[in-house]
Each structure stands twice: as C-alpha cells, then as structure tokens.
Structure 1
C-alpha cells in the first residue's frame, strides 16, 4: 500500500506560504501523493490553488483531491482549471470528486445544493468534452491545448449514486476518514458496483486518515472545528480518531492494508511543516 500525505490547505487560518514548503518536503521524503481537501465556506486555501502550488513546488509526486466539491463550479471552468494543473504538473493529477452537502459551500447562484447530484452527472460529460478538445462557446476553438488528457477520476461518498459513478466513469473510490469498521463497507460497496458494471480488474481504492504528532491536541481541535457542521458528537468522534502516536498510525495503516487499500493519505491537522518529517520517520 502506498502512503501519501495531505496538504494542510483546510486547517483554519492556514499560512498559505507553508503549502509549497510542505509539498516540496513531502516529495523529498518519498510520499506517493499530495492530497487536498475541498471546501468553500471555511478560512483555508482553495484546492485548485493548492494543487497548482504543489505542482509548481514538485516534479514527481502525485497530486490528488480528496475530495473536491465539484458541483459548486461551472463545469467548463473547472474542467479548464484542472486541465491546466494537470498539464503544468506533467500529468500527475488525479481528481477525487464529491457532491458535498453544506449549502454555504455553494455560493454561486444557479449552482446550489438542491440538484448537485444530477448536475454532477451532466458535468462529467462536459469535463470529457473539454479535455478531448471539443470546440467551446459556439466558436471553433477548444478550451485546452493539444496534448491535454482525460484526467483520472475517483469518487467519494456513501450513496448508491456515488458507487454507480465510480463504476461508470471513475478509476476508483475514495473512502472517508474513519476506522476500518466504518469505511470498509463503503469500499466493498464500490467494489461490488464495479464488478456488477462489468469493469475489468479492480477499482483503485484510496482512504484518508488524520494525524497530529507535534501538537496533538491542537490537531484534534482543528479537526473538530472543521467538522462542527456535523454536530458536536460527530465532530468529537472524528477529532478523537486523529492518530497522535506512532502506534496509532501503524495500526491504521495495517488495518487498511489488510483491506486491500491501494493508497492511504495521511492528512495533516496543523500547518507545521515539520509534521512531514515526523510522520515520514514513522511510516516510510
């Protein structure tokens, strides 16, 4: 199982200048991928900006959103943004997509929360039209340069529609943060949908897990703050699940490795760049 690391782009009041520093240090340490969390209504840095910054600060490490709330974007604009990030990175980008659920994460009129699932299904077709160079805007020109590729898509979520999208148009599935007992059933549902759709091989399975090593209680407080919209109990449970010791990290990794996970993204909960080397010493 590969081990990636999440960038701290959605730590409250993150210092944006730490993002490229974190990315460069993670590549040097040997992590497989750099991940981002997507959300609008929170004082962090956009996942598209974060991915672009990481692309510029690195040359070999994979780039992954886990997950991007894609339906809050006009499809044509997002497709071009992502094509640009993928191109400047040398085709290192994989996009993990979710539909989201917080109304305040959908600030643009006409791109609200009510029809986001149906809109995403339409948008997936638009993405591929943009990426394959079809003309846009009623004129003769495509939106992207020749050589643009169809960016690999992963899907995150818990609904049957998510599993169907994974099987229909994705390369795999992203599980949420949580223990094997919670995330495992969703992974199996994605695998079942994949087989039922007649897809060859197995879907790529990625999971995420939060960690804090230098300032454990601050990291847990940050996670609780981020998830407060889910209510006190759920946010507290997610905060308590932050791995704060070498033993907890190893246990989480072994549990998901036994489940056949392809990649585990360890997500930082503070913007302390030294967290990269701390966790690398334990897991790499």
Structure 2
C-alpha cells in the first residue's frame, strides 16, 4: 500500500506561502502523493491553487484532489484548470471529484445544490471533451493545448450512485476520512459495482486519515472548526479519530492495508512543516 500526505490547504487560516515548501519536502521524503481537500467557503486555499503550487514545486510526486467538489464549478472552466495543472506537473495529476455536502459552497449563480449527481455526470462528459481538444460551442479554438491528456478520474461519495459512477466513469474511488471499519462497506460497494459493470481489473482505492503529532490540541481545534457546520456531534467524532501518535498511525496503516486499500493519504491538521518529517519517520 502506498502512503501519501495531504497538503494543508484547508487548515484554518493556512499560511499560503508554506504550500510550495510543504510539497517539496513531501517529495524529498518519498511520499507517493500529495492530496488536497476541496471546499469553497472556508478560510483556506482553493484545491486547484494548492495543486498548481505543488505541481510547480515538485517533479515526481503524484497529485490528487481528495476530493474536489465538482458541481460548484462551471465544467469547462474546471476542465481547463485541471488540464493546465496536469501539464505543469508533467502528467502527474489525478482528479478526485465528488458532489460535496455544503449548501454554502455553491457560489456560482445557476449552479445550486439541486440535481448535483445528474450535473456531475454531465460535467464528466464535458471534462473529457475539453481534454480531447473539442471546440467550445461557437468557438474555433480549443480550451487546452495539443499536449493535454485525459486526466484520470477518481470519485468520492458513500452511496450506491457514487459507486456506480466509479464503475461507469472512473479509475477508482476516494473514501471519506472515517475509521477503517466505517469505510469497509463503501470499498466493498465499489468493488461490487465495478464487477457488475464488467470492468476489467480492480478499481484503485484510496483511503484518507487525519494526523497530528506536535500540537494535537491545535490540530483538533482546526479540524473541529472545519467540520463545525456539519454539527458538533460529527465534528467531535472526526476530531476523536485524528491519529495523534506513531502507534495510532501504524494501526491505521495496518487496518487500511487489511482492507485492500491501494493508497492511504494522511491529511495534516496544522501547517507545521515539521509534521512531514514526523509522519515520514513512522510510515516510510
């Protein structure tokens, strides 16, 4: 199982200037992937911006959004952004995309929270059309360069429609930041949908976990603040499941490996650069 690390782009009031150095150090330590978390209405850095910064600061580490909220974006605009980031990175980007669960994130007029699943399915077609160099309606120039490729797609979500979307349109699945036992049914749901759709091979399965080593209290406060809009019970539960030391991190690695996960990405809860080395010492 590969081990990746998150970029602290949605840590409360993250210092944006930290992100390129975070990416460089993560690559130097040998993590497999840099992951971002996506949210519009929050005092952080947009996942596309964080991925672009990481793409420019690194040369080999994978890049993955875990996950970007697709339906809040105009599809052609997002496709162009993603193609540009992928090209800057030299083809290292995978787009993890989901529906999102926050009404307030729908800032663009006409892209509200209704019919998100249907819209995302339509958007996927637009993404791929843009990446293939199709001309926009009424236009005579493509939105991307001739070097653009079809960026691999992973999908999030914990309902059957999400599992079916993976099997129909994706290369794999990004599970929620939940304990292994709670993620297991979704992983199995994706595998079953994949098989039922007649897909060859296996879906690529990514799991997520939060961690904090040096300043556990601040990490917990930051995570609570991020999830507070979902209610205190949910926020408290997620804070209680932060991996706060080497033993808990190792236990998570073992548990997710036992579930057959292909890659586990540990997301930070502070923007302390030294957390990278602390995690690397335990898992790499």
TM-score by length of 1: 0.99
1:1-284 mapped onto 2 (5 Å cutoff): 1-284=1-284
Partners of 1:14 and 1:251 lie apart in 2 by 28
Q: Secondary structure at the match of 2:192?
A: helix
Alignment gaps of 5+ in structure 1: none
Cα distance, 1:140 vs. partner? 2.1
Question: Take 1:89 and 1:233, find their aligned partners in 2: how far apart are those partners?
Answer: 39
Q: How many residues align?
A: 284
CA distance in 2, matches of 1:158, 1:279: 28
How much does 1:192 deviate? 0.5
- Runs of 4 or more, structure 1, over 2 Å off, are none
Query: In angstroms, what is the RMSD of aligned CA positions?
Result: 0.7
Shift of 1:141: 1.4
Distance 1:68 1:240 in 2: 24
SS in structure 2 opposite 1:227?
helix
Q: Deviations over 1:239-271 (max 9, x none)?
A: 010000100000000000011100000000000
Q: What is the CA distance between 1:84 and its match in structure 2?
A: 0.3
Deviations 1:214-234 (A, max 9, x none): 101111111111111121111
| TM-superposed deviation, 1:281 | 0.5
Quick one: distance in 2 between partners of 1:54 and 1:212?
A: 21
Using the TM superposition, give the Cα deviation of residue 206 of structure 1 relative to its aligned residue in structure 2, in angstroms. Answer: 0.2
CA distance in 2, matches of 1:243, 1:10: 18
**1:21, CA displacement in angstroms?**
0.8
Query: Runs of 5+ in structure 2 lacking a partner?
Result: none
Provide the C-alpha distance between the structure 1 equivalents of 2:77 and 2:170, rounded to a whole number of angstroms.
20
- Equivalent-residue separation in structure 2 for 1:215 and 1:76 (angstroms): 41
